Structure 1
């Protein structure tokens, strides 16, 4: 009887492991945290970009991120030079024309492109929101990114940058900046 005990224990562990794997494989897929939405802004001199939303259950806040390339729009020598440029080109004004920077911006790199990031307070019809403006450059081209959420500035910025680090978004940004 002593020799069969390890065999029985091994069989129980093996069956338990198989049950766990089967349960994992048969479980319904989790909803994606971020999903694409339609470009919510009116047409202007630039093509529409891509817009994404992340719900409160997944991101701790309702966040939206808007991205679009502006080809031929950046200073070829200096790239994104200062915070005034971020204010002008990042499309935060499309969310609300009433935006106020909270502090000086910072240097940032998104998809291996250098630029600047800045945090804003937005006045919206349904109350204040936090916005993030990002402008990064590649050669003479600019990628404008604007984000908005109800959370604190650090949380909105962290979630936005994490989203932009995703493989699919990075690939799209690089391809868009090369005109593909």
Structure 2
């Protein structure tokens, strides 16, 4: 009922209202939702979060890319993570620091890979690109910040495994 009222009040679609819904307390301990910071492109906007806890201001960007995955192989290699993980939205200057690792988050499987980002303001950030597939669809995420890449990755994956985020990912991959 709240989402319907929000959609009517804001003139937003049901999907937009769902994306604007507040994050429950269980997921706000360290991560708080912020506005999607990137311009429109060929994919729907996702959700963005900032960590105010142990991950020292890291930001996490998550979105679905429907029909954008090899239906038979899923996310098969690091080149695919490089192509789909939205790192180029943060900075056009990014470089992988090592080969990626297989990753499973709930029913989604894929890969995670660490990068160095040269930020537009001259700062250097660490990032982890994550690409996970379900059938022919992708869930991509990037966590980036001034902290250590593995620490930020652990915090992001822990957050992605919360019930609220799992529900949102399933809804986004189902096109809702």
TM-score range, shorter chain: 0.7 to 0.9
Kindly state the Cα deviation for residue 111 of structure 1 after the two structures are TM-superposed. 3.0
Q: Is the partner of 1:81 in helix, strand or coil?
A: coil
Q: Is the partner of 1:159 in helix, strand or coil?
A: helix
Residue 77 of structure 1 corresponds to 72
Give the TM-score normalised by structure 1: 0.79
Partners of 1:59 and 1:139 lie apart in 2 by 34
Aligned length: 149
- List per-residue Cα deviations over 1:112-168 (Å, max 9, x = no partner): 200000000111114111111000111111111111011112211111111111111
CA contact (8 A) 1:92 1:147 kept: no
The residue correspondences of 1:165-176 to structure 2 (distance < 5 A) are 165-176=161-172
Kindly state the Cα deviation for residue 174 of structure 1 after the two structures are TM-superposed. 1.3
Residue 53 of structure 1 corresponds to 50
Partners of 1:98 and 1:42 lie apart in 2 by 18
* Gaps in structure 2 of 5+ consecutive residues: 1-24
Kindly state the Cα deviation for residue 60 of structure 1 after the two structures are TM-superposed. 4.0
- List per-residue Cα deviations over 1:16-50 (Å, max 9, x = no partner): xxxxxxxxxxxxx9x73211111100111111111
Q: Could you say if the C-alpha distance between residues 60 and 47 of structure 1 is closer, same or farther in structure 2, counting changes exceeding 3 Å?
A: closer
2:139 maps to 1:143 = yes
Kindly state the Cα deviation for residue 98 of structure 1 after the two structures are TM-superposed. 0.6
What is the RMSD computed on CA atoms of the aligned residues? Answer: 1.4
